[in-house]
Amino acid sequence: MIKSMSPQEARRLIDVQGALLVDIRESEEYAHEYIEGARLMPLSVFTLLPPAGDRERTAIFYCRSGTRTRGSAATLENHGFAAAYYIEGGLIGWKKAGLPTVSRKVPLPMSRQTMMAAGVVVFVLSLLALCMPVFTWLTLLVGANLIFAGYSGICLMAKLLIRMPWNRGN
């Protein structure tokens, strides 16, 4: 059975025995903050990973809080590592223990930015349409753009958002 260990024990095992530190979160989460030296192996594609050579090592898994790791213990354990552990409290526990992480300021994923922008535009135009019916047509135009984006894969709103200052330089 996969066992828990404190962040301090994990740090020692990594430093002394060269244990493999595995971040099972998704890439968007990892992009914001991670433990230095961790290998990203998202749970969503974990069965496709890791290379056979790594299976001979001890693996220490973590997610944000430890919940996903505990809930996926059987999947992680049955992947054939020499030994498998998870960090108590995940990344949050690691930071509470005073251990370092690597943080980067990155914009929200474009899909989330697009959903937020579309929601704001539709909400505002709908409110304006209550007073001036001409705004109903603009609301319909936004909806039509979203349908077109879903069908074609070309989103005009995303093309606009990508030019925003917070999305430059990444």
pLDDT of 8? 97
pLDDT of residue 51: 57
pLDDT at 160: 87
Please check the confidence at residue 169 and state whether its pLDDT lies above 90: no
Whole-number pLDDT of residue 62: 96
Q: What is the pTM of this model?
A: 0.68
Q: What is the mean pLDDT of the chain?
A: 88
What per-residue confidence (pLDDT) applies to 48? Answer: 74
Query: CB under 8 Å to 47, separation ≥6 — which residues?
Result: 75, 79
Indicate which residue of 20, 24, 60, 63 is catalytic: 63
| Nearest-angstrom CA–CA distance, 42 and 132 | 48
* Listed residue (34, 17, 36) closest to 26, CA to CA: 34
Query: What average pLDDT does this structure show over 126-143?
Result: 91
Q: Which two tokens stand for residue 62?
A: 């973590």
Q: Which residues contact 123 (CB under 8 A, 6 or more apart)?
A: none
The answer to whether 63 is a known catalytic residue is yes
The whole-number average pLDDT for the span 141-158 is: 86
Report the pLDDT averaged over residues 30-50.
Answer: 86
Pairwise pLDDT comparison (45 vs 123), residue with the higher score: 123
* Per-residue tokens: 167: 């999305």
Sorted by where each begins, the domain ranges of the chain are 3-103, 110-167
pLDDT band at 132 (very low <50, low <70, confident <90, very high): very high
Question: What CATH number matches the domain at 3-103, 3.40.50.2000, 3.40.250.10, 3.40.630.10, 3.50.50.60?
Answer: 3.40.250.10
